[in-house]
């Protein structure tokens, strides 16, 4: 039905938009007015008849929604356009306002795509990119104004016309970004013979002012610097901001989509079953039921926006349990992941290599002691051999005290066969 509303609106603007009374409006335009009236009734119902809170809280909840702000803007513009088009003096202004209002109503159509899993998060991305574009326009506006004022002051020594000043300070530098550079109006060397004047009175009457040839080279230099900053620096900055926003939202796109789907389900669950303009019948039934007969709505109990007392504590307990389950599942997946297994294996291999290096070092010491014992003269062998045996025993005991056994399942157990073998070489049998 909303597509039919947009088609009717477009038909009225393009084909059947009559002059002010008594000639117009046409029948199709009256149908459009009635359709918008039903939309206004629906917005009033959403503001004052949805939820069990106070009227002030309902209004705050209504204003917090971006799409409700869009609806209010569209209805406000339509009211202004409707009032202005009824008078001959403001007819064209009212028509212009209604044309802008059609764009706002068309943008409201984007809200329907929030139910789609792929298109829904893209709406969030577009909204965040609009914020990024605002900051980009701030930097661009400062740089554009600086270049425009300097360019206008260097080219024209005197031009008091406000409309032309604004056009040359803001509009023409903005077109320079997209490659529209009129060199015949900037470069004095390429300006042919034109009828121009420096007389302020003639310029006020509409005559073309003459270009100032002095420091015209500086105008070209400023143009090059301006295009370099805007087309390379600022535009690439905007692209980088858009890329960061897209990747950040796309990473949690499923979460954003679930929130969008929930809000859309809550909104349409509370709405009447009929669509505009037939929704006026549901509004009349609701007014009789709620306003006259004082029958409360059963849909209020289905979606509760606030919990108190025992229900709030139960919800907090459930959230805590779900959080612990989620964290434990994440830790389990992390432990079982290939990366974590490789990390643990790498730590174990490093520990094994370190202990094998220590064993080789002790083996080297024992071999050195064995070589020294073979060089001892046999004059007094018994005391020397006893001393060497005692020394080797002390070394073995000190090493055994400092050694850390590694006895986990499926892992290598550190032994002492190499040390005992070295000790048996030194200790006489």
Q: pLDDT, tens digit, for every residue of 104-118?
A: 999 988 888 888 888
For the four alpha carbons of 13, 16, 20 and 21, in that order, the dihedral sign comes to negative
Tell which wins on pLDDT, 363 or 235.
235
Is the CB of residue 17 less than 8 Å from the CB of residue 95?
yes
Q: Comparing 78 with 374, which gets the higher pLDDT?
A: 78
How many helices (H) and strands (E) would you count in the chain? 18, 0
Distance CA 360, CA 89 (A): 103
Pick the range with the lowest mean pLDDT from 3-7, 32-36, 303-307: 303-307
Distance CA 165, CA 174 (A): 14
Quick one: pLDDT at residue 298? 60
8 A C-beta contact, residue 193 and residue 247: no
What's the pLDDT tens digit per position in 302-353? 556 667 788 888 889 999 999 999 999 888 887 777 777 788 788 888 888 8
What DSSP assignment string belongs to 242-289? HHHHHHHHHHTHHHHHHHHHHHHHHHHHHS-SSPTTTHHHHHHHHIII
Burial label, 339 (beta-carbon count in 10 A; 0-12, 13-18, 19+): exposed
| E strands in 10-163 | none
197 bridge partner residues: 209
Report the pLDDT value the prediction gives residue 23, as an integer from 0 to 100. Answer: 86
Report yes or no: 57 and 47 within 8 Å, Cβ to Cβ. no
Contacts of 24 (CB under 8 A, 6+ apart): 17, 18
Site of tokens 């080297």 = 364
pLDDT higher at 6 or 416: 6
Tell whether the model's pLDDT for residue 32 goes beyond 60.
yes
In a 10 Å sphere around its CB, with 0-12 CB exposed, 13-18 middle and 19+ buried, how is residue 234 labelled? middle
Structure token pair of residue 143: 């740089």
Residues near 352 by beta carbon (within 8 Å), at least 6 away in sequence: 412
Most confident range (mean pLDDT) of 202-216, 276-290, 374-388 is 276-290
Cα distances from 92 to residues 27, 85, 88, 102, 286, in angstroms, run: 20, 7, 8, 15, 39
Summarised one tens digit per residue, pLDDT across range 253-269 is 888 888 888 888 877 77
- Take residue 202 and report the two structure tokens written for it: 């003639």
Please state the rounded mean pLDDT for residues 244-252: 90
Q: φ, ψ for residue 49 (rounded to 5)?
A: -125, 15
| Residue 281 CA: distances (Å) to CA of 41, 392, 406 | 11, 104, 81
pLDDT at 391: 66
What number of CA atoms fall less than 13 Å from residue 204's CA on the CB side?
A: 4
More confident residue, 394 or 102: 102
Per-residue model confidence as pLDDT tens digits over 180-219: 888 777 776 766 666 777 777 787 777 878 777 787 889 8
Distance CA 290, CA 267 (A): 19
pLDDT band (50, 70, 90) for residue 424: very low
Residue % of the chain over a pLDDT of 90: 32
């Amino acid at each position: 039905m909303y597509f039919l509303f947009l088609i009717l609106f477009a038909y009225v603007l393009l084909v059947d938009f009559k002059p002010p009374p008594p000639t117009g409006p046409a029948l199709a335009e009256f149908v459009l007015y009635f359709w918008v009236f039903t939309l206004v009734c629906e917005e009033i119902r959403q503001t004052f008849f949805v939820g069990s809170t106070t009227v002030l809280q309902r209004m705050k909840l209504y204003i917090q929604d971006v799409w409700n702000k869009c609806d209010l803007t569209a209805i406000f513009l339509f009211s202004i356009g409707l009032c202005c088009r009824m008078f001959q003096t403001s007819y064209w202004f009212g028509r212009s306002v209604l044309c802008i209002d059609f764009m706002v109503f068309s943008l409201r159509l984007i809200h329907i795509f929030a139910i789609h899993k792929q298109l829904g998060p893209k709406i969030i991305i577009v909204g965040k990119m609009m914020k990024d574009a605002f900051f980009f326009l701030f930097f661009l506006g400062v740089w554009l104004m600086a270049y425009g004022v300097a360019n206008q002051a260097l080219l024209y020594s005197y031009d008091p016309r406000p409309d032309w000043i604004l056009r040359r300070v803001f509009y023409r530098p903005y077109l320079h970004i997209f490659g529209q550079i009129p060199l015949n109006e900037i470069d004095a060397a390429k300006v042919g013979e034109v009828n121009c004047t420096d007389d302020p009175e003639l310029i006020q009457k509409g005559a073309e002012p003459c270009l100032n040839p002095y420091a015209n080279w500086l105008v070209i230099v400023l143009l090059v610097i301006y295009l370099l900053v805007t087309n390379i620096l600022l535009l690439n900055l905007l692209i980088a901001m858009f890329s960061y926003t897209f990747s950040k939202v796309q990473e949690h796109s499923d979460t954003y989509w679930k929130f969008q789907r929930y809000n859309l389900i809550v909104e349409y669950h509370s709405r009447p079953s009929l669509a505009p303009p037939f929704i006026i019948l549901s509004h009349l039934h609701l007014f009789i039921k709620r306003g006259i007969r004082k029958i409360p709505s059963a849909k209020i109990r289905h979606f509760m926006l606030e919990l108190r007392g025992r229900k709030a504590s139960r919800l907090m307990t459930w959230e805590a349990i779900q959080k612990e389950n989620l964290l434990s599942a994440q830790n389990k997946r992390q432990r079982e992941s290939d990366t974590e297994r490789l990390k643990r294996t790498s730590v174990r291999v490093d520990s094994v290599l370190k202990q094998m290096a220590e064993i080789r070092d002790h083996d080297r010491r024992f071999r050195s002691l064995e070589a020294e014992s073979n060089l001892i003269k046999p004059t007094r062998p018994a005391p020397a051999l006893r001393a060497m045996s005692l020394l080797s025993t002390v070394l073995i005991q000190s090493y055994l005290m400092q050694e850390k056994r590694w006895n986990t399942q499926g892992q290598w157990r550190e032994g002492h066969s190499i040390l005992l073998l070295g000790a048996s070489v030194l200790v006489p049998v």
